[in-house]
A and B are shown apart, each in its own frame.
Chain A
Amino acid sequence: MSLQSLDITRRSATTTPPPQQRQQQEVAKLIDVTKCIGCKACQSACQEWNDLREEVGINEGSYQNPHDLTENSWTLMRFAEHEQNGTLEWLIRKDGCMHCADPGCLKACPSPGAIIQYSNGIVDFQEEHCIGCGYCVAGCPFDVPRISKKDSKAYKCTLCSDRVSVGLEPACIKACPTQALVFGSKEDMIDHANDRIADLKERGFDQAGLYDPAGVGGTHVMYVLHHADQPQLYNDLPKEPTISPTVGLWKGVLKPLATAAMLFTALAGFFHYVTIGPNDAEDNEEDHPA
Protein backbone atom coordinates (compact mmCIF):
# COMPACT_ATOMS: atom_id res chain seq x y z
CA MET A 1 0.00 0.00 0.00
CA SER A 2 1.47 3.36 -1.00
CA LEU A 3 0.78 5.21 2.21
CA GLN A 4 4.14 6.54 3.37
CA SER A 5 5.40 7.83 0.08
CA LEU A 6 8.05 10.21 1.41
CA ASP A 7 10.17 7.69 3.26
CA ILE A 8 11.07 5.01 0.77
CA THR A 9 14.62 3.73 1.27
CA ARG A 10 14.64 1.25 -1.57
CA ARG A 11 12.41 0.59 -4.55
CA SER A 12 12.71 -2.52 -6.74
CA ALA A 13 14.22 -2.18 -10.26
CA THR A 14 14.84 1.52 -9.77
CA THR A 15 18.21 3.18 -10.40
CA THR A 16 17.52 6.68 -9.01
CA PRO A 17 16.75 7.59 -5.35
CA PRO A 18 13.10 7.02 -4.38
CA PRO A 19 11.29 9.72 -2.34
CA GLN A 20 13.07 9.65 1.02
CA GLN A 21 12.88 13.16 2.44
CA ARG A 22 11.08 11.91 5.54
CA GLN A 23 13.04 9.60 7.83
CA GLN A 24 11.39 7.36 10.36
CA GLN A 25 12.58 5.38 13.32
CA GLU A 26 13.34 1.74 12.59
CA VAL A 27 10.66 -0.52 13.99
CA ALA A 28 10.64 -4.21 14.82
CA LYS A 29 8.32 -6.99 15.85
CA LEU A 30 9.76 -9.26 18.50
CA ILE A 31 8.43 -12.82 18.62
CA ASP A 32 9.29 -14.45 21.92
CA VAL A 33 8.98 -18.10 20.99
CA THR A 34 9.44 -19.08 24.65
CA LYS A 35 6.20 -17.35 25.62
CA CYS A 36 4.08 -18.52 22.71
CA ILE A 37 1.26 -20.95 23.54
CA GLY A 38 0.32 -21.67 19.92
CA CYS A 39 -3.20 -20.24 20.21
CA LYS A 40 -3.08 -18.73 16.70
CA ALA A 41 -4.85 -15.54 17.78
CA CYS A 42 -2.27 -13.66 15.68
CA GLN A 43 -3.02 -15.83 12.66
CA SER A 44 -6.74 -15.02 12.93
CA ALA A 45 -6.12 -11.34 13.62
CA CYS A 46 -3.97 -11.15 10.48
CA GLN A 47 -6.75 -12.54 8.31
CA GLU A 48 -9.32 -10.33 9.99
CA TRP A 49 -7.41 -7.05 9.62
CA ASN A 50 -6.31 -7.80 6.07
CA ASP A 51 -9.77 -9.15 5.26
CA LEU A 52 -8.58 -12.43 3.80
CA ARG A 53 -9.85 -15.95 4.41
CA GLU A 54 -7.95 -19.20 4.14
CA GLU A 55 -9.79 -22.16 2.65
CA VAL A 56 -10.80 -24.78 5.17
CA GLY A 57 -8.10 -27.46 4.90
CA ILE A 58 -7.56 -30.96 6.20
CA ASN A 59 -5.82 -32.18 9.32
CA GLU A 60 -2.47 -33.75 8.61
CA GLY A 61 -1.77 -34.88 12.16
CA SER A 62 -0.50 -31.60 13.57
CA TYR A 63 -1.88 -28.37 14.89
CA GLN A 64 -0.31 -26.61 11.94
CA ASN A 65 -3.10 -25.33 9.72
CA PRO A 66 -2.84 -24.37 6.92
CA HIS A 67 0.26 -26.44 6.22
CA ASP A 68 2.19 -23.63 4.63
CA LEU A 69 2.09 -19.88 4.09
CA THR A 70 -0.30 -18.93 1.28
CA GLU A 71 -1.43 -15.81 -0.53
CA ASN A 72 -4.19 -15.58 2.11
CA SER A 73 -2.19 -16.68 5.16
CA TRP A 74 0.65 -14.23 5.60
CA THR A 75 1.59 -15.62 8.97
CA LEU A 76 1.49 -19.20 10.18
CA MET A 77 2.20 -20.98 13.45
CA ARG A 78 4.62 -23.79 12.73
CA PHE A 79 4.71 -26.62 15.27
CA ALA A 80 7.73 -28.86 15.88
CA GLU A 81 8.20 -31.63 18.44
CA HIS A 82 11.75 -31.86 19.67
CA GLU A 83 13.13 -34.46 22.04
CA GLN A 84 16.29 -33.68 23.96
CA ASN A 85 17.73 -35.29 27.11
CA GLY A 86 14.57 -37.29 27.60
CA THR A 87 12.24 -34.31 27.54
CA LEU A 88 9.83 -33.31 24.83
CA GLU A 89 9.76 -29.71 23.74
CA TRP A 90 6.95 -28.28 21.67
CA LEU A 91 8.62 -25.58 19.61
CA ILE A 92 6.11 -23.21 18.09
CA ARG A 93 7.26 -20.52 15.70
CA LYS A 94 5.21 -17.78 14.11
CA ASP A 95 6.46 -17.78 10.52
CA GLY A 96 6.11 -14.95 8.00
CA CYS A 97 8.09 -12.21 6.33
CA MET A 98 11.17 -11.16 8.34
CA HIS A 99 11.32 -7.65 6.83
CA CYS A 100 15.03 -8.01 6.09
CA ALA A 101 17.25 -4.93 6.13
CA ASP A 102 18.77 -6.34 2.93
CA PRO A 103 15.72 -7.92 1.28
CA GLY A 104 16.43 -10.61 -1.32
CA CYS A 105 12.89 -10.29 -2.69
CA LEU A 106 13.45 -6.62 -3.54
CA LYS A 107 16.86 -7.31 -5.05
CA ALA A 108 15.39 -9.94 -7.38
CA CYS A 109 12.22 -8.09 -8.42
CA PRO A 110 12.35 -6.82 -12.04
CA SER A 111 9.30 -4.56 -11.85
CA PRO A 112 9.90 -0.94 -10.79
CA GLY A 113 8.14 -0.23 -7.51
CA ALA A 114 6.56 -3.64 -7.04
CA ILE A 115 8.56 -3.99 -3.81
CA ILE A 116 9.55 -1.07 -1.61
CA GLN A 117 11.33 -0.72 1.70
CA TYR A 118 10.33 2.13 4.00
CA SER A 119 12.85 3.90 6.19
CA ASN A 120 11.18 2.29 9.22
CA GLY A 121 12.37 -1.07 7.83
CA ILE A 122 9.07 -2.44 6.55
CA VAL A 123 9.34 -4.27 3.21
CA ASP A 124 6.06 -3.92 1.36
CA PHE A 125 4.77 -5.45 -1.87
CA GLN A 126 2.82 -3.08 -4.14
CA GLU A 127 0.62 -5.57 -5.91
CA GLU A 128 -0.58 -3.07 -8.53
CA HIS A 129 2.99 -3.02 -9.94
CA CYS A 130 3.60 -6.77 -9.61
CA ILE A 131 3.90 -8.71 -12.87
CA GLY A 132 3.75 -12.20 -11.35
CA CYS A 133 7.18 -13.41 -12.46
CA GLY A 134 7.99 -15.03 -9.11
CA TYR A 135 11.55 -13.71 -8.95
CA CYS A 136 10.90 -12.57 -5.35
CA VAL A 137 10.29 -16.21 -4.44
CA ALA A 138 13.78 -17.05 -5.73
CA GLY A 139 15.26 -14.01 -3.99
CA CYS A 140 13.84 -14.57 -0.49
CA PRO A 141 16.07 -16.57 1.89
CA PHE A 142 13.05 -17.43 4.09
CA ASP A 143 10.63 -18.83 1.46
CA VAL A 144 8.00 -16.22 2.21
CA PRO A 145 6.33 -14.66 -0.89
CA ARG A 146 3.40 -16.55 -2.40
CA ILE A 147 1.95 -15.98 -5.87
CA SER A 148 -1.84 -15.88 -5.89
CA LYS A 149 -3.66 -18.44 -7.98
CA LYS A 150 -6.42 -15.88 -8.49
CA ASP A 151 -4.47 -12.91 -9.86
CA SER A 152 -0.81 -14.03 -10.23
CA LYS A 153 0.40 -11.28 -7.86
CA ALA A 154 2.83 -11.83 -4.99
CA TYR A 155 1.53 -11.51 -1.41
CA LYS A 156 3.14 -11.59 2.02
CA CYS A 157 3.00 -9.96 5.48
CA THR A 158 3.03 -6.15 5.26
CA LEU A 159 3.95 -5.76 8.95
CA CYS A 160 0.59 -3.93 8.85
CA SER A 161 2.25 -0.99 7.11
CA ASP A 162 -1.20 0.63 6.92
CA ARG A 163 -1.65 0.43 10.71
CA VAL A 164 1.94 1.34 11.57
CA SER A 165 1.78 4.43 9.35
CA VAL A 166 -1.01 5.84 11.53
CA GLY A 167 0.65 4.94 14.81
CA LEU A 168 -1.02 1.60 15.52
CA GLU A 169 0.72 -1.67 16.26
CA PRO A 170 0.32 -4.60 13.83
CA ALA A 171 -2.89 -6.63 14.20
CA CYS A 172 -1.06 -9.76 15.41
CA ILE A 173 0.58 -7.82 18.24
CA LYS A 174 -2.77 -6.51 19.42
CA ALA A 175 -4.25 -10.02 19.47
CA CYS A 176 -1.48 -11.88 21.33
CA PRO A 177 -2.75 -12.88 24.81
CA THR A 178 0.66 -13.71 26.35
CA GLN A 179 2.70 -10.77 25.06
CA ALA A 180 4.89 -13.22 23.20
CA LEU A 181 4.51 -10.64 20.43
CA VAL A 182 5.69 -7.09 21.06
CA PHE A 183 6.26 -4.18 18.71
CA GLY A 184 8.24 -0.95 18.97
CA SER A 185 11.44 0.70 17.84
CA LYS A 186 14.09 -1.81 16.83
CA GLU A 187 16.35 -0.51 19.61
CA ASP A 188 13.70 -1.01 22.31
CA MET A 189 12.92 -4.47 20.99
CA ILE A 190 16.57 -5.49 21.25
CA ASP A 191 16.67 -4.20 24.86
CA HIS A 192 13.48 -6.05 25.68
CA ALA A 193 14.85 -9.24 24.09
CA ASN A 194 18.05 -8.96 26.13
CA ASP A 195 16.03 -8.83 29.37
CA ARG A 196 14.10 -11.90 28.28
CA ILE A 197 17.29 -13.75 27.33
CA ALA A 198 18.92 -12.96 30.69
CA ASP A 199 15.83 -14.34 32.40
CA LEU A 200 15.82 -17.50 30.28
CA LYS A 201 19.51 -18.10 30.97
CA GLU A 202 18.84 -17.87 34.69
CA ARG A 203 16.22 -20.56 34.27
CA GLY A 204 18.64 -22.96 32.62
CA PHE A 205 18.32 -22.16 28.91
CA ASP A 206 22.06 -21.55 28.38
CA GLN A 207 21.70 -21.17 24.66
CA ALA A 208 18.82 -18.68 24.73
CA GLY A 209 19.42 -15.81 22.36
CA LEU A 210 18.14 -13.28 19.84
CA TYR A 211 17.59 -14.13 16.18
CA ASP A 212 18.41 -11.00 14.16
CA PRO A 213 20.53 -12.54 11.39
CA ALA A 214 23.42 -10.37 10.20
CA GLY A 215 23.58 -12.17 6.84
CA VAL A 216 20.56 -10.21 5.66
CA GLY A 217 21.61 -7.03 7.47
CA GLY A 218 19.41 -7.86 10.45
CA THR A 219 15.62 -8.18 10.33
CA HIS A 220 12.64 -6.15 11.47
CA VAL A 221 10.97 -9.27 12.75
CA MET A 222 13.14 -10.91 15.39
CA TYR A 223 12.84 -14.04 17.53
CA VAL A 224 13.82 -14.84 21.09
CA LEU A 225 14.75 -18.54 20.91
CA HIS A 226 15.53 -20.96 23.76
CA HIS A 227 17.93 -22.74 21.38
CA ALA A 228 19.46 -19.82 19.50
CA ASP A 229 22.41 -22.09 18.61
CA GLN A 230 20.05 -24.41 16.68
CA PRO A 231 17.43 -22.26 14.93
CA GLN A 232 16.81 -25.10 12.47
CA LEU A 233 14.94 -26.94 15.27
CA TYR A 234 12.14 -24.43 14.80
CA ASN A 235 10.84 -25.87 11.52
CA ASP A 236 14.02 -25.13 9.60
CA LEU A 237 14.56 -21.51 10.53
CA PRO A 238 17.85 -20.95 8.64
CA LYS A 239 20.93 -20.73 10.85
CA GLU A 240 22.84 -18.16 8.83
CA PRO A 241 20.48 -16.83 6.18
CA THR A 242 21.93 -14.77 3.35
CA ILE A 243 20.71 -13.84 -0.09
CA SER A 244 21.70 -16.93 -2.10
CA PRO A 245 25.06 -16.52 -3.91
CA THR A 246 23.26 -17.61 -7.10
CA VAL A 247 20.92 -14.64 -6.75
CA GLY A 248 23.94 -12.42 -5.99
CA LEU A 249 25.65 -13.55 -9.20
CA TRP A 250 22.49 -13.04 -11.20
CA LYS A 251 21.51 -9.61 -9.90
CA GLY A 252 24.80 -8.27 -8.57
CA VAL A 253 27.28 -9.34 -11.25
CA LEU A 254 25.57 -10.54 -14.42
CA LYS A 255 22.89 -7.85 -14.62
CA PRO A 256 25.23 -4.81 -14.87
CA LEU A 257 28.11 -6.54 -16.68
CA ALA A 258 26.00 -8.29 -19.31
CA THR A 259 24.03 -5.11 -20.00
CA ALA A 260 27.27 -3.22 -20.56
CA ALA A 261 28.72 -6.03 -22.70
CA MET A 262 25.68 -6.15 -25.00
CA LEU A 263 25.76 -2.39 -25.44
CA PHE A 264 29.49 -2.60 -26.16
CA THR A 265 28.96 -5.32 -28.80
CA ALA A 266 26.40 -3.21 -30.62
CA LEU A 267 28.65 -0.13 -30.48
CA ALA A 268 31.64 -2.17 -31.69
CA GLY A 269 29.63 -3.09 -34.78
CA PHE A 270 28.76 0.51 -35.48
CA PHE A 271 32.34 1.71 -35.12
CA HIS A 272 33.66 -1.14 -37.22
CA TYR A 273 31.35 -0.01 -40.02
CA VAL A 274 32.42 3.65 -39.86
CA THR A 275 36.14 2.84 -39.62
CA ILE A 276 36.94 -0.35 -41.54
CA GLY A 277 33.71 -0.34 -43.47
CA PRO A 278 31.66 -2.86 -45.40
CA ASN A 279 33.08 -5.79 -47.31
CA ASP A 280 31.66 -5.59 -50.84
CA ALA A 281 32.34 -8.42 -53.30
CA GLU A 282 31.18 -6.33 -56.26
CA ASP A 283 34.15 -3.97 -55.71
CA ASN A 284 36.66 -6.43 -57.16
CA GLU A 285 34.33 -8.49 -59.27
CA GLU A 286 36.66 -8.51 -62.28
CA ASP A 287 39.20 -10.55 -60.26
CA HIS A 288 36.87 -13.56 -60.28
CA PRO A 289 35.43 -15.72 -63.00
CA ALA A 290 31.74 -15.11 -63.51
Chain B
Amino acid sequence: MKTETHSRLIRRYTPPERANHWLTAITFILLAFSGLALFHPSMFWFTQFFGGPVWTRILHPYIGVVMFLSFAGLALKFWHHNLISRNDVEWLKRISDVIRNREDRLPEVDRYNAGQKLLFWTMIATIPTLLITGIIIWRPWFAGYFPIDLIRIAVLLHAVCAFVMISGIIVHIYAAIWIRGTVGAMVRGTVSRAWASKHHPGWYKRILQDGDKS
Protein backbone atom coordinates (compact mmCIF):
# COMPACT_ATOMS: atom_id res chain seq x y z
CA MET B 1 0.00 0.00 0.00
CA LYS B 2 1.15 3.48 -0.81
CA THR B 3 0.81 4.83 2.70
CA GLU B 4 2.72 1.95 4.20
CA THR B 5 5.71 2.34 1.93
CA HIS B 6 5.85 6.09 2.42
CA SER B 7 9.18 6.81 4.06
CA ARG B 8 7.79 8.82 6.96
CA LEU B 9 5.16 6.28 7.97
CA ILE B 10 5.61 3.10 9.96
CA ARG B 11 3.20 0.22 9.90
CA ARG B 12 1.73 -0.53 13.34
CA TYR B 13 -1.23 -2.82 12.58
CA THR B 14 -1.84 -5.25 9.70
CA PRO B 15 -5.21 -5.28 7.89
CA PRO B 16 -6.40 -8.46 9.69
CA GLU B 17 -5.44 -6.92 13.03
CA ARG B 18 -7.37 -3.77 12.21
CA ALA B 19 -10.44 -5.73 11.10
CA ASN B 20 -10.27 -7.76 14.30
CA HIS B 21 -9.98 -4.60 16.39
CA TRP B 22 -12.94 -2.91 14.73
CA LEU B 23 -15.18 -5.96 14.93
CA THR B 24 -14.44 -6.03 18.65
CA ALA B 25 -14.99 -2.28 18.95
CA ILE B 26 -18.31 -2.21 17.10
CA THR B 27 -19.74 -5.17 18.98
CA PHE B 28 -18.48 -3.68 22.24
CA ILE B 29 -20.21 -0.36 21.61
CA LEU B 30 -23.44 -2.19 20.74
CA LEU B 31 -23.11 -4.19 23.97
CA ALA B 32 -22.44 -1.09 26.04
CA PHE B 33 -25.49 0.74 24.68
CA SER B 34 -27.84 -2.24 24.87
CA GLY B 35 -26.60 -3.16 28.35
CA LEU B 36 -26.71 0.37 29.74
CA ALA B 37 -30.28 0.72 28.47
CA LEU B 38 -31.26 -1.93 31.01
CA PHE B 39 -28.86 -0.73 33.68
CA HIS B 40 -30.38 2.66 34.50
CA PRO B 41 -33.72 4.17 33.41
CA SER B 42 -31.95 7.37 32.30
CA MET B 43 -30.47 5.33 29.45
CA PHE B 44 -33.52 3.20 28.61
CA TRP B 45 -34.00 5.23 25.43
CA PHE B 46 -30.91 3.51 24.00
CA THR B 47 -33.33 0.64 23.30
CA GLN B 48 -34.45 2.73 20.30
CA PHE B 49 -31.17 1.87 18.54
CA PHE B 50 -31.96 -1.83 18.67
CA GLY B 51 -35.57 -1.93 17.51
CA GLY B 52 -37.21 -1.51 20.91
CA PRO B 53 -36.84 -2.85 24.45
CA VAL B 54 -37.59 -6.49 23.75
CA TRP B 55 -35.18 -6.66 20.80
CA THR B 56 -32.53 -5.00 22.96
CA ARG B 57 -32.90 -7.77 25.53
CA ILE B 58 -32.88 -10.48 22.86
CA LEU B 59 -29.92 -9.19 20.81
CA HIS B 60 -27.48 -8.22 23.58
CA PRO B 61 -26.24 -11.70 24.56
CA TYR B 62 -25.76 -12.86 20.95
CA ILE B 63 -23.67 -9.76 20.23
CA GLY B 64 -21.79 -10.61 23.43
CA VAL B 65 -20.75 -14.01 22.12
CA VAL B 66 -19.47 -12.45 18.86
CA MET B 67 -17.55 -9.82 20.84
CA PHE B 68 -16.02 -12.49 23.07
CA LEU B 69 -14.75 -14.53 20.11
CA SER B 70 -13.43 -11.44 18.38
CA PHE B 71 -11.70 -10.25 21.54
CA ALA B 72 -10.13 -13.69 21.99
CA GLY B 73 -8.44 -13.16 18.61
CA LEU B 74 -6.97 -9.83 19.75
CA ALA B 75 -5.86 -11.26 23.07
CA LEU B 76 -4.03 -14.19 21.47
CA LYS B 77 -2.31 -11.85 19.04
CA PHE B 78 -1.23 -9.12 21.44
CA TRP B 79 -0.79 -10.61 24.93
CA HIS B 80 2.98 -10.88 24.63
CA HIS B 81 3.32 -7.14 24.00
CA ASN B 82 1.46 -6.47 27.22
CA LEU B 83 3.73 -8.10 29.79
CA ILE B 84 4.35 -5.68 32.64
CA SER B 85 7.91 -4.35 33.00
CA ARG B 86 9.70 -2.32 35.67
CA ASN B 87 9.35 0.81 33.53
CA ASP B 88 5.58 0.39 33.64
CA VAL B 89 5.46 0.72 37.41
CA GLU B 90 7.53 3.90 37.16
CA TRP B 91 5.26 5.20 34.37
CA LEU B 92 2.17 4.68 36.52
CA LYS B 93 3.79 6.52 39.43
CA ARG B 94 4.28 9.51 37.13
CA ILE B 95 0.70 9.50 35.92
CA SER B 96 0.41 13.24 36.63
CA ASP B 97 3.16 13.89 34.05
CA VAL B 98 1.29 11.66 31.61
CA ILE B 99 -1.87 13.71 32.07
CA ARG B 100 0.03 16.99 31.61
CA ASN B 101 1.64 15.86 28.33
CA ARG B 102 5.15 15.90 29.89
CA GLU B 103 6.36 12.76 28.17
CA ASP B 104 10.03 13.75 28.46
CA ARG B 105 9.84 12.98 32.19
CA LEU B 106 8.58 9.43 31.66
CA PRO B 107 10.53 6.18 31.45
CA GLU B 108 10.96 4.75 27.94
CA VAL B 109 7.75 3.20 26.60
CA ASP B 110 7.91 0.16 24.30
CA ARG B 111 5.10 -0.92 22.01
CA TYR B 112 2.44 -0.24 24.66
CA ASN B 113 2.50 2.04 27.67
CA ALA B 114 1.46 0.96 31.16
CA GLY B 115 -2.01 2.44 30.77
CA GLN B 116 -2.62 0.41 27.63
CA LYS B 117 -1.31 -2.73 29.33
CA LEU B 118 -3.51 -2.14 32.34
CA LEU B 119 -6.55 -1.89 30.10
CA PHE B 120 -5.47 -5.08 28.33
CA TRP B 121 -5.28 -7.07 31.58
CA THR B 122 -8.53 -5.55 32.83
CA MET B 123 -10.19 -6.84 29.67
CA ILE B 124 -8.58 -10.25 30.16
CA ALA B 125 -10.24 -10.39 33.59
CA THR B 126 -13.62 -8.87 32.79
CA ILE B 127 -14.56 -10.11 29.33
CA PRO B 128 -14.54 -13.83 30.21
CA THR B 129 -16.41 -12.93 33.42
CA LEU B 130 -18.99 -11.04 31.33
CA LEU B 131 -19.38 -14.11 29.11
CA ILE B 132 -19.83 -16.55 32.00
CA THR B 133 -22.16 -14.33 34.04
CA GLY B 134 -24.01 -13.35 30.85
CA ILE B 135 -24.72 -17.01 30.08
CA ILE B 136 -25.97 -17.58 33.64
CA ILE B 137 -28.56 -14.78 33.28
CA TRP B 138 -29.41 -15.46 29.62
CA ARG B 139 -33.15 -15.98 29.14
CA PRO B 140 -34.87 -17.96 27.89
CA TRP B 141 -32.00 -20.35 27.14
CA PHE B 142 -29.80 -20.83 30.18
CA ALA B 143 -30.97 -18.91 33.26
CA GLY B 144 -33.55 -21.58 34.11
CA TYR B 145 -30.76 -24.08 34.81
CA PHE B 146 -29.17 -21.99 37.56
CA PRO B 147 -30.31 -21.37 41.16
CA ILE B 148 -31.65 -17.88 41.93
CA ASP B 149 -28.83 -17.09 44.38
CA LEU B 150 -26.28 -17.67 41.63
CA ILE B 151 -28.28 -15.57 39.16
CA ARG B 152 -28.28 -12.70 41.67
CA ILE B 153 -24.51 -12.83 42.03
CA ALA B 154 -24.05 -13.21 38.26
CA VAL B 155 -26.19 -10.20 37.39
CA LEU B 156 -24.35 -8.05 39.97
CA LEU B 157 -20.93 -9.20 38.72
CA HIS B 158 -22.02 -8.67 35.12
CA ALA B 159 -23.01 -5.09 35.90
CA VAL B 160 -19.78 -4.44 37.86
CA CYS B 161 -17.58 -5.82 35.06
CA ALA B 162 -19.58 -3.89 32.45
CA PHE B 163 -19.12 -0.69 34.45
CA VAL B 164 -15.36 -1.26 34.76
CA MET B 165 -15.05 -2.09 31.05
CA ILE B 166 -17.16 0.83 29.84
CA SER B 167 -15.22 3.28 32.01
CA GLY B 168 -11.96 1.79 30.73
CA ILE B 169 -13.10 2.04 27.11
CA ILE B 170 -14.16 5.68 27.57
CA VAL B 171 -10.55 6.37 28.63
CA HIS B 172 -9.27 4.24 25.72
CA ILE B 173 -11.35 6.19 23.17
CA TYR B 174 -10.37 9.50 24.70
CA ALA B 175 -6.68 8.57 24.64
CA ALA B 176 -6.94 7.89 20.91
CA ILE B 177 -8.29 11.43 20.41
CA TRP B 178 -5.93 13.05 22.90
CA ILE B 179 -2.72 11.52 21.50
CA ARG B 180 -2.84 12.93 17.96
CA GLY B 181 -2.06 10.49 15.19
CA THR B 182 -3.25 7.43 17.09
CA VAL B 183 -6.52 6.91 15.23
CA GLY B 184 -4.53 6.44 12.00
CA ALA B 185 -2.73 3.49 13.56
CA MET B 186 -5.98 1.57 13.74
CA VAL B 187 -7.67 3.05 10.63
CA ARG B 188 -4.86 3.12 8.04
CA GLY B 189 -2.50 0.90 10.00
CA THR B 190 0.32 3.43 10.09
CA VAL B 191 1.85 6.02 12.41
CA SER B 192 4.36 8.78 11.77
CA ARG B 193 7.97 8.48 12.87
CA ALA B 194 7.49 11.49 15.13
CA TRP B 195 4.54 9.74 16.78
CA ALA B 196 6.51 6.55 17.30
CA SER B 197 9.61 8.22 18.67
CA LYS B 198 7.64 10.46 21.00
CA HIS B 199 5.09 8.04 22.41
CA HIS B 200 6.73 4.63 21.95
CA PRO B 201 10.51 5.26 21.75
CA GLY B 202 11.46 1.74 22.81
CA TRP B 203 9.38 0.23 20.02
CA TYR B 204 10.69 2.84 17.53
CA LYS B 205 14.32 1.96 18.33
CA ARG B 206 13.68 -1.71 17.72
CA ILE B 207 12.11 -0.89 14.38
CA LEU B 208 15.05 1.25 13.35
CA GLN B 209 17.47 -1.51 14.35
CA ASP B 210 15.94 -4.64 12.97
CA GLY B 211 12.85 -3.53 11.10
CA ASP B 212 10.65 -5.24 13.66
CA LYS B 213 7.16 -4.70 12.31
CA SER B 214 5.33 -6.28 15.21
Contact = CB atoms under 8 A, between A and B. Distances in A.
A250 B178 contact: no
Contacts of B140: 132, 147, 149, 152
B39 A255 contact: yes
A38 interface: no
B153 interface: yes
A111 interface: yes
Nearest to B199: A281
A111 to B, nearest CB: 6
B155 A135 contact: yes
B120 interface: no
Interface string B136-172: 0101100100001101110110011001001100110
B180 A131 contact: no
A52 interface: no
Given A134-B137, A262-B163, A143 B156 contact: no
Given A15-B41, A259-B40, A278 B152 contact: no
Contacts of B174: 269, 272-273
- Specify the main secondary structure of chain B where it touches its partner: helix
Nearest to A16: B41
B41 A13 contact: yes
Nearest to A259: B40
A249 B156 CA distance: 8
A288 B143 CA distance: 58
Contacts of A137: 143, 148, 151
A262 B167 contact: yes
Given A135-B155, A262-B167, A269-B171, A110 B44 contact: yes
A254 interface: yes
Interface residues of A, number: 47
Contact of B170 (A111, A246, A259, A262): A262
Interface string A3-15: 0000000000111
Contact of A152 (B39, B43, B139, B171): B139
B193 interface: yes
Interface of B: 8, 37-44, 53-54, 56-57, 99-101, 103, 137, 139-140, 143, 148-149, 151-153, 155-156, 159-160, 163, 166-167, 170-171, 174, 177-181, 192-195, 197-199
Given A262-B166, A269-B171, A272-B178, 10 more contacts: A15-B41, A138-B151, A152-B139, A247-B152, A265-B167, A269-B170, A279-B199, A281-B197, A281-B199, A288-B193
Interface of A: 13-15, 110-112, 129, 131-135, 137-138, 143, 147, 149, 152, 244, 246-247, 249-250, 254-256, 258-259, 261-262, 265-266, 269, 272-273, 276-282, 284-285, 288-290
